[in-house]
Structure 1
C-alpha cells in the first residue's frame, strides 16, 4: 500500500513539473509576442521625458535587452531557486504580491466554492427525487439559464440591484475606502466580499446540480434500486443507502476540477467589483506589461488548478479505496 502511494505521488510530481514547464514556455512565448511594450508600460506617462539612453538602461535592468531564449532560461533558473522576479507595477517581489492577493482571492473563491458545491448538490438531488415535477423543471430552468450567463454580466446585475438601487452592500473594493488598514474590521471585509462570492457561487451551481441530477436519475432507475423499492425502501432512506455513495464520487470530482472555472470566474468578478485579488492583479499585469508578475500568476494558477485535481484524486481514493488499490485510506 505504501509503495503504491509513493508511486502515485511520484507520478503526480513528474506531471506537475512537466505541466509547469510547458505552461511557462507557452506563457513566455505569448508574452514575448505581445504588442504591449513592457518598457512603455513601465515608464507610463513619463515616456516623453525618458530618453533613448534611459530606455536602454531600463531594458538592461529588467533583462529585456537579451534574446528571448536567454531571457527564458534566466527566468527558469531564477524560478528554480524560488525567485519569481520583481513586479514592474508594484515594485515588490512577485511572491509577495501573489501572497498578499491570494489571501483575498482564497477567501472569495473558498466561500463561493463551498456555496456552489453544497447548494448545487442539494438542488441536483432534489431535482432527481422530484423528477418531472414542477420542482424539477424550475431547477433545470435555473441551471440552464445560469450556465449560459456570463460572470461579468451577472456581477454587474447584482451590483446594480443590491449596491446601487437597494444600497445593501458596498459598490466595490475589498475594504471601505478611506479607512486605515488597522481600523478595518472583519465585518467590513465580509460585507465587501458578499456580492463577488454570490456572483461566483450562483454561476457555479448549475454544473454540479445538472450533473448530480442526471447521475441520481440513472441510479434510481437501476435494477438494484428497483429491487430496494420492492422491499419497501423509499424516500430519503433509499437515497441514503443506495444513491449517495454512487453520486458522491462524480460530484466530488467535478467540484474539485472546477478550480479552473473558479479561477477564471474570479478574474472577471474581481474586475467588476474592483476586488483586490489575483484576478485583478492578472488583468493589471496583462494590460500594463508586467512580465514577471504575469508569468508568476500563470505559474501559480496552473499550480492552483493542479492541486484541485490532485485533491479530487485523493478524495476519490479516500471515499472508495478500491480505486487506488487501497493506497490512500
Structure 2
C-alpha cells in the first residue's frame, strides 16, 4: 500500500504540473487582467509554485508525513477539512448505490440463471449488456430529464434545496436530493454483478452434487438455498467490494451532473482550476478508499470460504 500511494502521488503530481491549466491564472480568475507580473510572482512564491517540481513534491510529501495535506487554493481551507466536509455526502451516496446495485444485481443474476434460456433470461442479459456500455453521465442526464424535467418528481440538482438555511434543511429534503444520483449509480452498477452471478449459478447448477440433489427430488428455491446460495454469494461479495474503484469513478460523474456537493464535484473543480494540494489529497484518499475495498473483499472471501484457510501441518 505504501509503495502504491507514493507512486500514485508522484505520477499524479507530474500529470498536474504538465497539464495546460495554469494554477496561478485559475487562482486569479476573472481578475486576471488586473493582476500584474509582480503580483503573479508573489502568488507563485506564496504557494511555492516557483520552485522546481521535485522540490515542490518533496515539500508536499514532508508536510503530508506530519499530517498536513496542504491548503486548498479554491476553498482557502485545509485540504483535510474540505475532504471531511464533503466525504459525508459522498459516502451516503456511494453506500446507497452500492447496496442497491449489489442486491438488485444479485437477484437479477439468480433469476436469470434459474430461468436460463427463457425470455426472462434473455431480457436480463440484454438489460445488463446495455448498461455495461452506458456512460454514467449519460444515464444521469437521462434520469434528470425524465424524473426532474418531464415528471417533476425530484429536484434538478444540488444536495439541499436552494435558498434554504442549513438549519432549516430536513432529512427528507436531503433524501429527496439523494435519490436521483443514487438511482443513476445503481442502474449502471447492476450489470457486472448480475452477469457474474448468473454465470456462476449456472456452473453450480451443472455440478455433480446439484445433479445428485435433483435426483433426490430437490427443486426450485430449496435447491438454490441449500446448494447454490453460498457458492455464488462469495464471488458476488468479492466482486462488489472490488468494484469500489468503479463506484468512486461513477460518483465523480454523477455528482457533476447533479451538482451534488461531494468529493466527485470537488475533484472536478480541483482538476479544472489547478488546485494541486486538493487534487493530490483527493487522489490519495480515493486510492485508500479502493485499497480498503479490495482488502475487505479478500478478508470476507477468506472468512466465508474454508478452502482459503490452509490447515496447520501436523
2:155 paired with 1:160: no
In structure 2, how many angstroms separate the alpha carbons of the residues matched to 1:234 and 1:304?
Answer: 42
Partner of 1:30: 15
Is residue 317–residue 326 contact of structure 1 (8 Å, CA) maintained in 2? no
Report the secondary structure of 2:198's partner residue.
Answer: helix
1:88 aligns with 2:67: no
Relative distance call for 1:40 and 1:326 in structure 2 (3 A) is farther
Give the drift of 1:263: 0.6
Aligned length: 312
Question: Could you tell me which residue of structure 2 aligns to residue 260 of structure 1?
Answer: 245
List aligned pairs for 1:278-293, cutoff 5 A.
278-293=263-278
Offset at 1:239? 0.9
Rounded to whole Å, the distance in 2 between the matches of 1:242 and 1:104 is 40
2:186 paired residue number: 201
Alignment match of 2:176 (pick from 186, 191, 194): 191
How much does 1:72 deviate? 0.5
Displacement, 1:51? 1.6
Check if 1:211 corresponds to 2:211: no
Aligned-partner Cα distance in 2 for 1:81–1:322:
42
C-alpha distance in structure 1 between counterparts of 2:76 and 2:275, whole Å: 10
**Structure 2 Cα separation of the partners of residues 99 and 315 of structure 1:** 27
Cα gap change, 1:100 to 1:323, in 2 (>3 Å): same
Following TM superposition, by how much is the alpha carbon of 1:266 offset from its aligned partner in structure 2, in angstroms? 0.6
> Which structure 1 residue ranges, 4+ long, deviate > 6 Å from structure 2?
none
Distance in 1 (CA, whole Å) between partners of 2:168 and 2:49 is 42
**Aligned-partner Cα distance in 2 for 1:168–1:234:** 43
Partner of 2:259: 274
**CA positional deviation for 1:317:** 1.5
Q: Return the alpha-carbon distance in structure 1 between the equivalents of residues 296 and 84 of structure 2.
A: 21
Aligned-CA RMSD value: 1.1
Q: Out of 130-139 and 189-198, give the one that drifted further.
A: 130-139
Residue of structure 2 in register with 1:237 after alignment: 222
What is residue 113 of structure 1 aligned with on the other side?
A: 98
Q: Deviations over 1:286-307 (max 9, x none)?
A: 0011110011010011011001
Distance apart, 1:322 and its partner CA: 3.8
TM-score by length of 2: 0.97
Distance 1:51 1:189 in 2: 44
Cα deviations by residue, 1:68-88 (Å, 9 ceiling, x for unpaired): 011001111111111110000
SS at match of 1:268: helix
CA distance in 1, matches of 2:306, 2:164: 51
Give 3-state SS (helix, strand or coil) of 2:145's partner: helix
Give the structure-1-normalised TM-score. 0.93
Deviation of 1:237 (Å): 1.2
Match of 1:182 in 2: 167
CA drift of 1:232 comes to 1.0
Q: Which of 278, 283, 289 is equivalent to 1:304?
A: 289
Stretches of structure 1 that go unaligned for 5 or more consecutive residues are 1-15
Q: Give the Cα separation in 2 of the matches to 1:205 and 1:135.
A: 16
Q: Find the aligned partners of 2:271 and 2:54 in 1 and give their Cα distance.
A: 21
- Structure-2 separation of matches of 1:18 and 1:176: 43
2:47 aligned to which of 62, 75, 79: 62
Q: Which moved more, 1:316-325 or 1:62-71?
A: 316-325
Partner of residue 298, structure 2: 313
Q: Which residue of 2 aligns with 1:3?
A: none
Question: Which residue pairs with 2:89 in the alignment?
Answer: 104
Task: Specify the alignment match of 1:294 in structure 2.
Answer: 279
1:148 — aligned with what? Answer: 133
Q: Report the alpha carbon displacement of residue 326 of structure 1 after superposing the two structures with TM.
A: 7.4
Whether 2:308 is the aligned partner of 1:323: answer yes
Structure 2 unpaired stretches of 5+:
none
